Structures are given as C-alpha cells and as structure tokens.
C-alpha cells in the first residue's frame, strides 16, 4: 500500500467510527422532570411581607415555567 491508500483507509475508518458512535445508542430515552414551582419555604423570611418581592418571584416562576415545560 502507498501512503494515499493508507490515508484513505484511515479516513474511512474514522468516518465509520463516528457514524457508529452516533447511531449505536438508539435506545436512550429522554425523561422530562415534572415542573416543580416555588413553595413558601423557598421564600426568604426577610421578604415574607414584601408584596413586590412576592410578585417578582411569581413572575420569575411563571417565565421559567414557560421556558421549561
């Protein structure tokens, strides 16, 4: 064999290895976790009576839920 044939075989072997790596794991399943919102225990005590903070926390929770469900 000459170096051109060796290079061709090397490239072919690499292409087959990459293809096999992409198609070999076809039984993998993606599991989505159910959405878990904030609880009252998640709220810092120093903001317990702060309606602006609570409104902002609920707003942020709603935006994150939109993006993640």
Question: Could you tell me the sign of the dihedral formed by the alpha carbons of 47, 48, 51, 57, in that order?
Answer: positive
Look up the domain containing 32 and give its range.
3-68
Residue that has been written with the tokens 């170096």 in this structure: 3
| Residue 5 predicted with pLDDT over 80 | yes
Domain count, the chain: 1
* pLDDT (tens digit per residue) in 18-54: 877 776 566 666 777 788 888 888 888 888 888 899 8
The reported pLDDT for the residue numbered 59 is 92
pLDDT value at residue 36: 84
């Amino acid at each position: 064999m000459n170096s051109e044939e060796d290079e061709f075989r090397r490239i072919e072997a690499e292409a087959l290895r990459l293809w096999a790596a992409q198609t070999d794991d076809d039984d993998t399943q993606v599991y989505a976790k159910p959405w878990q919102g904030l609880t009252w225990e998640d709220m810092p005590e120093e903001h317990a009576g702060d309606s602006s903070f609570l409104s902002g926390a609920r707003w942020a929770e709603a935006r994150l839920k939109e993006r993640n469900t």
